[in-house]
Amino acid sequence: MFKYLKQLTSLVAMVAVLFTFTTETFAAKKSKTLKNTQKKGFVRCGVSQGLPGFSNADAAGNWTGVDVDVCRAVAAAVLGDANKVKFTPLSAKERFTALTSGEIDILSRNTTWTLSRDADIGLTFVGVNFYDGQGFMVRKDSGITSTSQFKNGISACTNIGTTTELNMRDFFNSKGISYTPVAFEKADEVVAAYDAGRCDTYTTDKSGLAAQRTKMSNPDDHIVLPETISKEPLGPVVRQGDAVWEDIVRWSLNTMIEAEEYGITSANADSMKTSENPQIKRLVGAEGEMGAAFGLDNEWNLRIIKQVGNYGESYKRNIADTGILPDRGPNQLWTKGGILYVPPSR
């Protein structure tokens, strides 16, 4: 009797070992970041320290903005609730270290996609949620209406650790203008110093200029010059090395843009399930197995649209209605004269 018991226990132990082994290998196929996120119950998202329209916290600590909405979309997709996001405000200097060190899992902080960032420092850009370009702001009473009126000796306030610093040098060098860069660590100090008159011009992405202008003591005293001196495709970033998580973030963003293209909004998403168009049905989880590859259920994209809305709704709510950039410019769908064009969900 005891002899059998011993054999039985060893058999049970073996089965148990085998079972844990198989489940482990199965789990390893799933994204490690996704697993951790689902265990924690919230998405860890790095945002700016306050850029109206993109990521900005109100007095009650509620974050809003188009960058914020990307993180909310991911939370809706993987956790089922767009509010389950922990936002970490980061300076331009801290952002990549916070991501590569694992403090956050998505960096959605008006970050420019460049070759060296994508290739060198352990990051992967997953898409573009705002097409921007660098511009200049000057005081209206200076009479400057174009960058061609800049003269030797001009001083320019900006942030450190951004592509802005590099573009600014390229721009002034190509025009042969000598300039004084005054680079601060935080955007608030840049604005305060420029507003006080320390610099003749303030340069950053045009969306940033438009947003920061609203923070000036007298917004109407300043104008943004028409020239754009660089390409700044801004988008969310993830750590290199977790392909599934990368795909989840990429397709959460794509879903928002494609939903707008097919006219699916947070209001009509549920009724679209009975649509005739298979493309629309795929976007609301009524056809195909669109979530399986990520380790998600089939309605992950429906939740994004219902809880966060499509890209157009997000833009209107955060950027247009707040008066920052009412004109969508290049950030319009390709079908309407813009350059927003995403691969199809199928």
CB of 155 to another protein, least distance (A): 6
Q: Compute the distance between CA of residue 291 and CA of residue 286 in angstroms, rounded to an integer.
A: 11
Contact between 91 and 185 (Cβ < 8 Å): yes
Please say which residue, 136 or 300, places its beta carbon nearer to another protein.
136
Please say which residue, 157 or 283, places its beta carbon nearer to another protein.
157
Please say which residue, 7 or 180, places its beta carbon nearer to another protein.
180
CA 133, 139, 140, 145 torsion-angle sign: negative
CB of 217 to another protein, least distance (A): 11
Contact between 301 and 285 (Cβ < 8 Å): yes
Please say which residue, 200 or 260, places its beta carbon nearer to another protein.
200
Please say which residue, 183 or 286, places its beta carbon nearer to another protein.
183
> In b/e form, how buried is each residue of 254-277, taking b as 16+ CB within 10 angstroms?
bbbbbbbbbebebeebeebeebee
CB of 80 to another protein, least distance (A): 29
Phi, psi of 281, rounded to the nearest 5 degrees:
-65, -35
Please say which residue, 155 or 266, places its beta carbon nearer to another protein.
155
CB of 234 to another protein, least distance (A): 16
Q: Compute the distance between CA of residue 294 and CA of residue 30 in angstroms, rounded to an integer.
A: 8
Q: How remote is the C-alpha of 81 from its chain's centroid?
A: 18
CB of 29 to another protein, least distance (A): 16
Residues with Cβ within 8 Å of residue 119, at least 6 apart in sequence:
none
Can you read off the two tokens belonging to residue 24?
């482990």
CB of 55 to another protein, least distance (A): 19
> In b/e form, how buried is each residue of 197-233, taking b as 16+ CB within 10 angstroms?
eebbbbbbbbbbbbbbbeebeeeeebbebeeebbebb
CB of 238 to another protein, least distance (A): 11
User: Residues in the site for another protein, rule: CB under 8 A?
Assistant: 92-93, 96-97, 100-102, 116-117, 120-122, 138-139, 141-144, 149-155, 157, 160-162, 165-166, 168-169, 173, 179-186, 189, 192-193, 196-198, 200, 239-241
Please say which residue, 86 or 186, places its beta carbon nearer to another protein.
186
The SS3 assignment for 212 reads helix
